[in-house]
Amino acid sequence: MFLVQLPPPVHGAALRNEFLSKSKVLNTNFDLEVMPLDFAKSIGDVGAFSIMKLVKMIGFSFRLFFKLLSSKYDLVYYNFAVRGIALYRDWLFVRIVKLFSVPLVIHIRTQGVREQAAHSSLKRNIFKNAFRSTTVICLSNALAKDVETVCNTAPKIIANGIDLVVTDADLSAKKSNTVPKFLFLSNLTRSKGVFEFLDSLKILLENNQEFTAEIVGPEFDVKIGFLQQYLEDRGLGDRVTITAPIYGDGKFQKFLDSDVFVFPTWFEAFPGVILEAMQSGLPIVTTREGAIPEIIEDGKTGYLVQQKDVAALAEKMTLLSGDEGMRQKMGAAGRAKFVKEYTSGIFEQEVDKAFKEALAV
């Protein structure tokens, strides 16, 4: 049984869940039944409390109990939230599964366990109870350390993977921009570093660097009108364009039309957008956050800076803007690492292996 959230809303965890639920490998080796969690209708709704969500949670709990009571499942796969009201909801669902002694695989797609367990004995006990006698999957070695104080067995490390969409022919056909173009593609939210991106561009402008830039993404806690005024106030209005969210092939074309991907995020686990930029052959400037230092090799496939360090961000962007050879070398190295480690085929094979090992215990 898959207890997972599927799109909509569209976000990384939901997309990975959708991919796994449709995986040819998993559906060949297992009889999958999906019981979707339908608690959030939009990105802004994720993590927010409402009476309707509470009613849905109670109803879902009863459906889950009677489904487990009436059917024999060999394994349950679940994404476990570690923050907010969703933590208590997910602990309840895990307790229901454990009532029936069904082997459980918990996939943790975020971080924050260590911090919360250190400050709350209640949450520490919830984590320990949920992870006991359970197969826990983390996205990277760094994120595995986040659960080590509450997990009695070593987590399995399975990096996310995405489909290889950009072909070698696409990369060969890529045209070089006369003026280097920076791309920011993400939800328009402060925590993704959109203002650090713009402030770094302001430094490049003051240093007479030639560049263009594009911001692509849906509004969240930052509105497009505010961003446009922010650009005008800093003299960036004729250098930076803002584009509504684009999905599918159109999104990858945005990567192919750019020269450097910049993602100065404050808080992250394993951002899929970095994998999209890597397969598109772009060098990446991003932050030392979550699994990112294991994905991006500093100085080889891109550059890593500290969160909110605009000066360091501008310095690395300046280096790349002035050296086309370096951009091409780093982009090619990132593409090679993506193909070797982060494709959807590798991802589904690793999850398949984890399921089989959990069943063998």
Structure tokens at 351: 């999850």
Distance CA 351, CA 357 (A): 10
If asked whether residues 134 and 203 sit together in one domain, one would say no
Which of the four pLDDT bands, split at 50, 70 and 90, describes residue 47? low
If asked whether residues 60 and 181 sit together in one domain, one would say no
If asked whether residues 176 and 57 sit together in one domain, one would say no
If asked whether residues 31 and 112 sit together in one domain, one would say yes
**Residue 287's pLDDT is what?**
98
Of residues 156 and 175, the one with the higher pLDDT is: 156
**Residue 194's pLDDT is what?**
97
If asked whether residues 133 and 206 sit together in one domain, one would say no
- Residue 306, Cβ neighbours under 10 Å: how many? 11
Structure tokens at 293: 């230092």
Residue type, 87: L
- Residue 52, Cβ neighbours under 10 Å: how many? 10
Domain that includes residue 206, residue range: 168-341
Q: Is residue 236 over pLDDT 80? A: yes
Closest CA to 42 of 235, 294, 285, 221: 221
Q: Which range (8-17, 95-104, 148-157, 278-287) has the least confidence?
A: 8-17
**Do 269 and 112 touch, CB atoms closer than 8 A?**
no
Residue type, 60: F
**Residue 28's pLDDT is what?**
96
Of residues 152 and 318, the one with the higher pLDDT is: 318
If asked whether residues 116 and 12 sit together in one domain, one would say yes
Q: Is residue 130 over pLDDT 90? A: yes
- Residue 250, Cβ neighbours under 10 Å: how many? 11
**Do 105 and 76 touch, CB atoms closer than 8 A?**
yes
**Residue 13's pLDDT is what?**
83
**Do 276 and 252 touch, CB atoms closer than 8 A?**
yes
If asked whether residues 111 and 66 sit together in one domain, one would say yes
Residue entry with tokens 């561009």:
201
Q: Is residue 117 over pLDDT 60? A: yes
Q: Which range (108-112, 331-335, 337-341) has the least confidence?
A: 108-112
**What does the DSSP 8-state code read for residue 177?**
P
**Residue 43's pLDDT is what?**
58
If asked whether residues 156 and 281 sit together in one domain, one would say no
pLDDT, average across residues 118-129: 96
pLDDT, average across residues 313-325: 97
Q: Is residue 45 over pLDDT 60? A: no
**Do 99 and 69 touch, CB atoms closer than 8 A?**
no
Closest CA to 160 of 265, 11, 40: 11
Alpha-carbon separation of residue 234 from 101, 115, 206, 223, 260 (angstroms): 60, 38, 10, 17, 21
Q: Is the Cα torsion angle 80, 82, 86, 91 positive or negative in sign?
A: positive
The dihedrals phi and psi of 241, each to the nearest 5 degrees, come to -110, 150
Mapped onto helix, strand or coil, the DSSP state of residue 241 is strand
If asked whether residues 355 and 293 sit together in one domain, one would say no
**Do 285 and 260 touch, CB atoms closer than 8 A?**
yes
Residue entry with tokens 């086309």:
324
Q: How many domains does the chain have?
A: 2
Which of the four pLDDT bands, split at 50, 70 and 90, describes residue 48? low
If asked whether residues 76 and 112 sit together in one domain, one would say yes
Average pLDDT of the chain, as a whole number: 94
If asked whether residues 269 and 177 sit together in one domain, one would say yes
Which of the four pLDDT bands, split at 50, 70 and 90, describes residue 40? low
Which of the four pLDDT bands, split at 50, 70 and 90, describes residue 89? very high
CATH number, domain containing residue 30:
3.40.50.2000
**Residue 44's pLDDT is what?**
59
If asked whether residues 119 and 256 sit together in one domain, one would say no
Per-residue pLDDT tens for 258-303? 999 999 999 999 999 999 999 999 999 999 999 999 999 999 999 9
- Residue 139, Cβ neighbours under 10 Å: how many? 25
Which of the four pLDDT bands, split at 50, 70 and 90, describes residue 14? confident
